[in-house]
Each structure stands twice: as structure tokens, then as C-alpha cells.
Chains A and B, each alone.
Chain A
């Protein structure tokens, strides 16, 4: 850092109020559904959770002062907003400086936020913010045509605010700032590559530290906006929908800027040293992008990430630099020398797309629907197995897998007039599956698909040496479904069900069906 830059940062540091001196409130709303005429958004609720986590971890918002609403109605939003406004009013009465942040990710159309089948006019939200008793009110809207909220004052699709330098600590900013992800006639775009909307992704990346242009360890509103604006416009320029331009309404009195996140107190951080140069993408354990760092040589960047396991990658020419890092309490330096060089074909992709391998271990049972078939021929069996799956390989949310299970059990064969014959049977089954994943909230996924399997079954008759061993082999088509819950970055609990068709033709031609139910644990592999 140059000397002039250091002086500037020191001056700003003196001018900016620390987060701890303020009481901050946050309403974070994410809604994937916009009612009739809209398609569900893939990442709106994830975006909301991401912002909620950042604001409560780095943004000075106490957990009890934050509200996270997903799939909520307009009335629920109104109630939550009124509640926070009342709390801000109480804090203000106690002499505290107050900041109210409202973030919304979802559908907006024709001047209204669309919360499921309910509506909330943008004007209503703007007026609610304008009239809220907090000293500073900030509205962050990531939705199509959200720029309409800035209309009365005139939009500014400028790359940065004109922030007046603080002259004294007493001239703290007061007023309203509205930032929208797109102008009034633009669509806000989501990206399957990064697994988020463009705007929120870059806003979040900025708040985590990459927007800290001053290097003072604080990300201000102006820095965050400038960063999100530049990255959003730049990254959407080549998309089919065209460039997306964030806009803002800036109506702050006083001087200085509003600090949105403070990086220093956070536990653990990735530090990109001054020698580092280029765009670094940080992925979490599920290979979703959680932040980006676009830096030039000479700067040092600090990303205040939550403790956990991350993968950092950087494209460099025809190759990829990639490495895995574990964050705990201390800073971890991300130098190129610590990244392994790999071919681009091994790129885990920027975000949720690209092949993601996983290994699933299961235990369960198999049950034939036909009671006659269950009599010795295909008795209920216990099975343990493993499945190697690849997600997002054949297309977004499409996955395929190969699996193998072994099992068996004991049963009794009952034939008319014959003393019951005990038997033991052994079974091996394996197959290939193709399915589609449907995200149900942030951690839950429902899968539906098809499977073709082989089944080999053999049985021996205990204490009946006169009876030869028997076996059966066939190919069985079927359908498969699973519900998985991700409880850690790489781990998921899975409940899986399959229904298969089996053609049996030894004694007589029979069309049989059977179900396989299993519980298992899925581990996302690192490639």
C-alpha cells in the first residue's frame, strides 16, 4: 500500500463510524415465486440467506435485530418491517444511532414486488423506508425492473456515488439510499454458473471484502455499490439478456459514508497478498460460489469468510490454478504458489454447475409387491450399497450415477403339502440412474429419475442337501426418487426410494414389481 493511500485510509477510518456504535436492523426477504406469469427463481432464497449471513456476521446486525423471510407474503413483510421500524424507533429514543437495511430478492413486475401470489407496491416499500425512524435507511432490491423504485427521484445508473467526505464526526449521514439491481426496464439475471443472481453475488463478494478499495477493513455503501455495479455490468455484458445496470437513489444528508460490513472482527479470513493478480473464485463445499476477488497486483484483499472448507480457483490462460483451504480463526494467505495448476477440463466451474461427483452409502431393504413372489422366491432382503453420482454433468440439475448393492437374508419356502423349507439367499444388484434434482429450500433437494439395473439372486436350502442351489439374473427398469438434506458443506443425509419392474419367467411368465427403500449418507467428492 502506498503512503498516500495509507494516509487516505487513515483519514477515512477516522471519519467512518464503527458498526459497534450503531444499532442496526435488517429485513432480508427472498421469494422464488412470483405468482401467475412468472417462472420460479432458482437462487432468490439462497441469495437472501447469503445476505442475511453477511449482515449478521459482518454487518453489525445483531441476530435478534435481523429478520429473514423466505416465501413470505406481502403482509408478513409489512409486519416485519413495521416491527423493525418500531425497534429502531425505540433505539433512537435511547439515543442510539440507527440503520435499517432492507434487502429483497425475488420477482418484481409492473411496479410491484411479487411475493408469491401477493403484491407489495414498490412505492409502498420506498415510502415505508423513507418514513422509517432509523437515521439511515438502505433498500437493496435484486429483482427485475426494480429500478422503478428510484423513479420519483430519477434514477442514476452511475458506477459510483458522489459521497461527500466527512468533515467531522458529528456530521454523520442521515437519509435514504435505494439500490436496485437493474433499471426500470431491465431484467435482473441469475446465473447457473455462479448459483446466484449476478447482482447479489457481486454485492456479497464486495461486502465480504473485495469491495474494500480503501483497504481500511471496512466496506462502505459506496464501495459496495461501485464494486457490484462494475462487476454486474461487466459480467452480464456478454449474456443473452444483455448488460444489466444497477441503479441507485441516494438521498443522504450529512457527510461521509455508511459502513456496511467491517472485516476486521470476523474470525478467519482469506488474504490475497499484494502479488496476487486476477479473478479468484471462492467455492464452498458444495461447489457453489460464495465470493469472488478481482484484484490487481499491488493491492491486498481480505475476504472475511465464515470458518469452513473452501476451494479457490483462478483461471490463468489455458490452465487453472486451484486449491483447497480450511478457514478457522486465523487468516489464510491465498498465494498463487499455494494453488495447483490443473487443466481447464478439471475446472469445478464457477458456482453450482459442472460435474460434481459424490459418493453415497446406503442401507435399506427390498420388497416385492406380490405376496406369492415373496414366498421364498423373492423374499424381503436387506441391502447395503454404494452409489457414485455425477451432478450437473449432462445439464443443469441433471445427474447420473452407477450403483451397486449386496445383501440377502433368510426366509422360509412354503409349498403345498411340503414341510416348510428354510432358505438363505444372497443378492447383488446394480444399475445406472438418471435423475433431475429439484431444490426445495436451501438444504433440501428432491430427486426424480429413472434407473436400469441388473439383479442377481441366488439361494441355498438349509438342511436340504438334496435341493440344488438356485439363481436368477435379470435386467430391471425402474424409477427412482430421493430426498436429501445437506447438513454440512459436503455431507447430506439421503432417503431414497426406487420402484422397479421385473420380468420373471422360470415357473411362468410374471410381471413383478418391487420397491427398494434406503437411507444413506452422501459425501461430495472434491472433484
Chain B
């Protein structure tokens, strides 16, 4: 209820946003940091590496940063409603807007969020949609989310970004893909998993088409699967990495060069980012100087991952 200017309205006013149910709805929306890929940063000291630097580890960190930036952009759309009082409240739904989009003239944004409760009145499912329109055109979904649980920090959900619709409405960014992108997250157990599905197209967020996934365990170790282009060879390296909490890790990667698949190349590195073991039958690793090589011993790989 909006405060009226009439003194009579003031006397009758019971207004504000004090609402437990609003909190319940907002708690079902994931936060940026909850969907971040968390690659341990390792030691910051500059070590002189006997077998060379772990280039895969470095690429994993930069790839994780790129993914996190993309996720931030997506979640920012949902985050915006936290600062706005719902326009209408029903028992099991909230609606925000339509509001004019301050960044795009002539565009209106509306957010609808609904929930389903179980027999104990505990929410078990939330559905939310951010739609945009250029009146008199129809509203098109630009983000859809579904969440299972009562609290995003420990539930399961997906977010679909309809870049094809934001492109059609002319509200996309130049770096945005033009196809739907999906985030799946499962924060309900150990490990917590987050995956980014970019397989429907290419070069989204500067990443190549791949199903990026990350699994983080409570004790700090984790797994990160991703792909990156190798500019030198012209191939795409598909990487599966494992980290411990200190940043030491191992990886297995394959190089996909046209129709040819080369694998498996295995590396281990310590927390300082130095290679401790290399088993590269193809000489992809810089330390192998283009020849098949085995450097170090397998025993020097971090244990337990």
C-alpha cells in the first residue's frame, strides 16, 4: 500500500514491507556467491618450478573467473528484485512490476514468483520468471528459474536465460550468446555442484561450447570440468581437474583437434602452481618440449583427490 497524501489516508494507513513471507520468497532465490565456481587460488609466492608451471591450473582459475562473471550477470537479473517491494502479494505468489526498464527505453520488466507448499506448509518448489516486453508486444521470458526446497543455500535449482528473447527485444549485451543458457545447481548435499550448459551454441561469455561443471566438497576439495581453446595447437582442450583445499591438484585432459581426439594427458601440481608430475604422450605440455615425456613421479601427486 502506498502512502497517500491525504491526512485521512494517513490515519487509515498500515503500510510498509514488513513481511515474513517476502523473506521466504527471497530466500529461495540463489545468491551470486552461492553459484560461484570456487577454484583454490594456491600459494601466492613465486616459486621457481623444476618442471615448469601448471598451465592447466592457471587456465582453470581464469576459466572459473569467466564463468563466475557470467553467473553474476545472470543472477543480477534476479537479484534486482530484492531491492524492490512486491507490487502484489498473494498467498503463494509475488509479483514485481511491470516497471519501465531504466536501461532500455520503451521496455517494461515484470517478475512473477510462485511457490508450492507441502502438507506441512513448507515450500518445496518455487518458480520465477522475469519477462520483458516492448508494448504493445507481448511479454517474453528472459529468465526462468525453478527451485526445489525452501532455501536456495541448500536446495536444487536451475536457471534458464533466454538470450534468444533478450536479443529479440534488443536488450542483450554484445557478449551475450544468442541461445538459451542454463545453470543447474545442487546445493543440497556434499559436494555442492554447479554446471553451466552452453552446449546449444558457441562462444557464450567468451567460453567455448561446453558443459562446464564444478563440484565443491565441504572440506575444500573439488572437481572442475571445462574446455578451453589452445591457440598454439588450434585444438580444444577438454579438462577434468581435481583440487585440494590448498590448491594442489591433478588433471586429465584430452585435445580435440578437428576429428582427432588425443588423450589422456595427465598432470599434477603443487599448491604453488608448479608441475610435480607429467605424463604427456603427445608432448602438449610445454615442459615436454614437444616430445612425449614423463616428468616427476606419480607419488608426487596430491593424495586424496
A421 close to B (CB within 8 Å): yes
Q: How distant is B255 from chain A, measured CB to nearest CB, in Å?
A: 41
CA distance A386 to B89 in the complex (A): 38
CA distance A421 to B79 in the complex (A): 19
CA distance A468 to B86 in the complex (A): 12
Q: Which residues of B contact A376 (CB under 8 A)?
A: 20, 23
Tell whether, in the assembled complex, residue B15 and residue A467 are in contact, meaning their CB atoms are under 8 Å apart. Answer: no
Scoring A457, A459, A467 by chain B CB atoms within 10 A of each residue's CB, the highest score goes to A467
Chain A residue at smallest Cβ distance from B26: A467
Q: Which residues of A contact B18 (CB under 8 A)?
A: 377, 457, 459, 470-472, 504, 506
B14 close to A (CB within 8 Å): yes
Which of the segments B51-59, B118-126, B257-265, B269-277 contacts the partner chain? B118-126
Tell whether, in the assembled complex, residue B24 and residue A474 are in contact, meaning their CB atoms are under 8 Å apart. Answer: no
Tell whether, in the assembled complex, residue A508 and residue B91 are in contact, meaning their CB atoms are under 8 Å apart. Answer: yes
CA distance A417 to B18 in the complex (A): 20
Q: How distant is B223 from chain A, measured CB to nearest CB, in Å?
A: 27
One of B14, B22, B123, B151 near A474 (C-beta < 8 A): B14
Tell whether, in the assembled complex, residue A468 and residue B11 are in contact, meaning their CB atoms are under 8 Å apart. Answer: no
CA distance A466 to B122 in the complex (A): 21
Q: Which residues of A contact B137 (CB under 8 A)?
A: none
One of B15, B83, B122 near A468 (C-beta < 8 A): B83
Interface size on B, residues (CB 8 A): 35
Q: Give the size category of A's interface with B.
A: 20 to 34
Q: Which residues of A contact B24 (CB under 8 A)?
A: 415-416, 418
Tell whether, in the assembled complex, residue A419 and residue B151 are in contact, meaning their CB atoms are under 8 Å apart. Answer: yes
Tell whether, in the assembled complex, residue B15 and residue A473 are in contact, meaning their CB atoms are under 8 Å apart. Answer: yes
CA distance A282 to B278 in the complex (A): 106
CA distance A473 to B12 in the complex (A): 11
A413 close to B (CB within 8 Å): yes
CA distance A476 to B76 in the complex (A): 39
B199 close to A (CB within 8 Å): no
Tell whether, in the assembled complex, residue A417 and residue B82 are in contact, meaning their CB atoms are under 8 Å apart. Answer: no
Tell whether, in the assembled complex, residue A470 and residue B123 are in contact, meaning their CB atoms are under 8 Å apart. Answer: no
Q: Which residues of B contact A470 (CB under 8 A)?
A: 16-19, 22-23
Q: A416-B123, A472-B16, A475-B12 are in contact. Are A467 and B82 (CB under 8 A)?
A: yes
Tell whether, in the assembled complex, residue B17 and residue A417 are in contact, meaning their CB atoms are under 8 Å apart. Answer: no
One of B12, B14, B149 near A417 (C-beta < 8 A): B149
A375 close to B (CB within 8 Å): yes
B246 close to A (CB within 8 Å): no
Tell whether, in the assembled complex, residue A473 and residue B89 are in contact, meaning their CB atoms are under 8 Å apart. Answer: no
Q: Which residues of A contact B122 (CB under 8 A)?
A: 416-417
CA distance A508 to B24 in the complex (A): 14
Interface 0/1 of B13-56, CB less than 8 Å to A: 11111111111101101010000000000000000000000000
Q: Which residues of B contact A421 (CB under 8 A)?
A: 23, 27
Chain A residue at smallest Cβ distance from B31: A466
For the A-B complex, the count of residue pairs with Cβ-Cβ distances under 8 Å equals: 96
A505 close to B (CB within 8 Å): yes
One of B89, B121, B153 near A419 (C-beta < 8 A): B153
Interface 0/1 of B189-203, CB less than 8 Å to A: 000000000000000
Q: Which residues of A contact B149 (CB under 8 A)?
A: 417
Interface of B is mostly: mixed
Scoring B18, B29, B89 by chain A CB atoms within 10 A of each residue's CB, the highest score goes to B18
Tell whether, in the assembled complex, residue A418 and residue B13 are in contact, meaning their CB atoms are under 8 Å apart. Answer: no
CA distance A413 to B121 in the complex (A): 16
Interface 0/1 of A354-388, CB less than 8 Å to B: 00000000000000000000011100000000000
Interface 0/1 of A390-423, CB less than 8 Å to B: 0000000000000000000000010111110100
CA distance A419 to B18 in the complex (A): 19
Tell whether, in the assembled complex, residue A507 and residue B89 are in contact, meaning their CB atoms are under 8 Å apart. Answer: yes
Q: Which residues of B contact A377 (CB under 8 A)?
A: 18, 20
Q: How distant is A388 from chain B, measured CB to nearest CB, in Å?
A: 22
Chain A residue at smallest Cβ distance from B14: A474
Q: How distant is B297 from chain A, measured CB to nearest CB, in Å?
A: 46
Interface residues of A in 459-514 (CB under 8 A from B): 459, 461, 466-468, 470-475, 502-508
CA distance A475 to B14 in the complex (A): 7
Q: Which residues of A contact B82 (CB under 8 A)?
A: 466-468
Q: Which residues of A contact B123 (CB under 8 A)?
A: 416-417
Q: How distant is B117 from chain A, measured CB to nearest CB, in Å?
A: 8
Q: Which residues of B contact A416 (CB under 8 A)?
A: 24, 120-123, 150
Interface residues of B in 143-176 (CB under 8 A from A): 149-151, 153-154
Q: Which residues of A contact B151 (CB under 8 A)?
A: 417-419
CA distance A503 to B10 in the complex (A): 13
Chain A residue at smallest Cβ distance from B117: A416
Scoring B12, B14, B83, B150 by chain A CB atoms within 10 A of each residue's CB, the highest score goes to B14
Tell whether, in the assembled complex, residue A507 and residue B14 are in contact, meaning their CB atoms are under 8 Å apart. Answer: no
Chain A residue at smallest Cβ distance from B149: A417
Chain A residue at smallest Cβ distance from B122: A416
Q: Which residues of A contact B153 (CB under 8 A)?
A: 419
Could you write out 12 A-B pairs with CB less than 8 Å apart?
A415-B20, A416-B120, A457-B18, A466-B31, A466-B82, A467-B26, A470-B17, A471-B18, A472-B15, A472-B18, A475-B13, A506-B18
Residues of A within 8 A of B (CB): 375-377, 413, 415-419, 421, 457, 459, 461, 466-468, 470-475, 502-508
